[in-house]
Structure 1
């Protein structure tokens, strides 16, 4: 069954404005208030607690060779990895509620300790900025996929000598827009890249390709990373970087529902309650998670795969 693990980190994001901090660390409790926890608990999930992040400090300096909040971010990733490991050891599927996309580092550390795992990175952006293509690397929430496949600074991409957390040939990205700056490089490096437009135009064919790609690698399993900015901003504007051309709720639900049963676990991130004053978008995210990820890990549990 599912274990819900809150990871309320905002350490991987830039400040939304001077003197303020990103609001996505409030997401797990906003989703609890919207009924997500109670709905999943009724279905047999457990509340596995929280991995609290360190203090957000906007300490990045251009040319420093460091990312924003680096020490706190790495510390949180290691502690998150330990908790994910413990959940999987008990035969349960971790559902990690962020927080920002930097929590993919913790998920990657946990799985790279265990074996050969794939990654389905579902995001409105490729998050493929890294020191090899940019001199402005600063915020891991926009660089998480590059870090997860070993292309970032060793401090974040090679924790405990585990780089790459996911081999590039085991990673699939779904959901970026056609004008994404990292699209062409990601296509050259990863197993597959599926822009949102491709998923929208051919979901059945695309899903078949994703499954065939994962099956061909004889992996121990795969992880789902879900950034809710994959949704079109007409549906989900409560994110830090909304871009037009995204999926609608039904399209995302189909994608996640089909992949959830065979996934070892998942994380969901970037929803920002500060941009949702009446709670309506929290309800949308909660409903989508419950509908689409309620069966998370069901097949791996039946098969005894960990």
Structure 2
């Protein structure tokens, strides 16, 4: 059964303006208000509480070799890893509600402590920026996949000497746009990359690519990372970096429904309630999560 674990962090994002902080840390409670918890708890889920992040301080300095909010981010990831591991030890499937995509680092540490796990990275961007391909490394929310497969600075990609949290050959990305800057490199490094356009054109073939990765011999299971910006902004504009050409909610729910039963757990990220004053997009996200991830871990159990 599902254990809902809130991880309200915004530490991995750049500030939207010089005088403000990102609003995605409000997402777990906005989704609760939108009815997500009520629906999942009715079906047997439990509320596993919250892992609070440290204060957001825009302390990044160009050329420093550090990411924004690095100390607080690593601290949060380490504590989140402990909570995720405790949920799995109870025989339950953690559903981590971010927050920004830096929560993938915590999930990676939790699973790397336990064994060899695969990763399905569902995101409107590859999030494959790293020091080897960019001088703009600063915000882990745009670099989480690179960190998860061991390509980032050690402070974020090698916590407890566990790098890579997910081996590149055990990792597959779904959902980037065709003009993604790191699409070519990610396609060379990872086991598979399925842009949103490919998923829309041939969902059965795309699903075969994903299943071929997560069914590899020797894996102890796999994790689902879901960035809501995989949705087209015509449906979901309340995200940090909307980009046209994404999935619709029905396609995303169908994809998650195929993968969730076999997953050990999942995280959902980047929805920003500050960009949703009426609450309608929160209800859309809540419904998509409940429809797509309601069976999370069912096959594992």
TM over 0.5: yes
Please list, as runs of the form range in 1=range in 2, the aligned pairs for 1:92-111 lying within 5 A after superposition: 92-111=92-111
SS across alignment from 2:113: helix
**Which residue is 2:64 aligned to?**
64
2:117 aligned residue:
117
Q: TM-score, normalised by structure 1?
A: 0.98
1:234-289 deviation per Cα after TM superposition (whole angstroms, max 9, x unaligned): 00000010000000011101110000000000000000000000000000000000
For 1:114-164, what per-residue CA distance to the aligned partner results, in whole angstroms no more than 9, with x for missing partners?
001000000000000000001110000000000000000000000000000
Kept after mapping to 1: 8 A contact 2:126/2:173: yes
Structure 2 CA distance, aligned partners of 1:263 and 1:10? 25
Corresponding position of 2:52 = 52
Matched, 1:3 2:3: yes
1:235 equivalent in structure 2? 235
Root mean square deviation, CA, Å:
0.5
1:225 counterpart residue number: 225
Matched, 1:268 2:268: yes
> C-alpha distance in 1, partners of 2:254/2:39?
20
Partner residue, 1:304: none
Tell whether 2:44 aligns with 1:31. no
Deviations along 1:1-37, one digit per CA (max 9) or x if unpaired, are 0000000000000000111000000000000000000
Partner-residue secondary structure (3-state), 1:180: coil
For this pair of structures, how many residues does the alignment match? Answer: 301
In the alignment, the residues of structure 2 paired with residue 259 and residue 217 of structure 1 have an alpha-carbon distance, to the nearest angstrom, of: 17
Contact 1:170 1:217 in 2 (8 A): no
Decide whether the 8 Å contact of 1:130 with 1:143 is kept in 2: yes
Q: Give the equivalent residue in structure 2 for 1:80.
A: 80
Q: Distance in 1 between matches of 2:283 and 2:255?
A: 19
SS of the equivalent of 1:114 reads coil
SS at 2:58 equivalent? coil
How far apart are the structure 1 equivalents of 2:181 and 2:191?
Answer: 18
Which runs of at least 4 in structure 1 moved beyond 6 Å after TM superposition?
Answer: none
Contact 2:113 2:162 in 1 (8 A): yes
Structure 2 distance, partners of 1:16, 1:171, is: 30
Structure 2: stretches of 5+ with no match in the other structure: none
Is the CA contact 2:170–2:191 (under 8 Å) kept in the aligned structure 1? yes
Alpha-carbon separation, structure 2, partners of 1:108 and 1:217: 19
CA distance in 2, matches of 1:167, 1:217: 13
Return the offset for 1:209.
2.2
Matched, 1:259 2:259: yes
Q: CA deviation at 1:206?
A: 1.1
Alpha-carbon distance between aligned partners in 2 of 1:21 and 1:154, rounded to the nearest angstrom: 26
DSSP-derived class of the 2:300 partner: helix
Is 1:136 aligned to residue 136 of structure 2?
yes
In structure 2, the residue matched to 1:191 is 191
Aligned mates of 2:212, 2:62 — CA distance in 1:
42
Structure-2 residue corresponding to 1:244? 244
Q: TM-score, normalised by structure 2?
A: 0.99
Is the partner of 2:262 in helix, strand or coil? coil
- Confirm whether residue 293 of structure 1 aligns to residue 293 of structure 2: yes
Larger deviation, residues 204-213 vs 282-291: 204-213
Report the alpha carbon displacement of residue 208 of structure 1 after superposing the two structures with TM.
1.8
Matched-pair contact (CA < 8 Å) for 2:273–2:282: yes
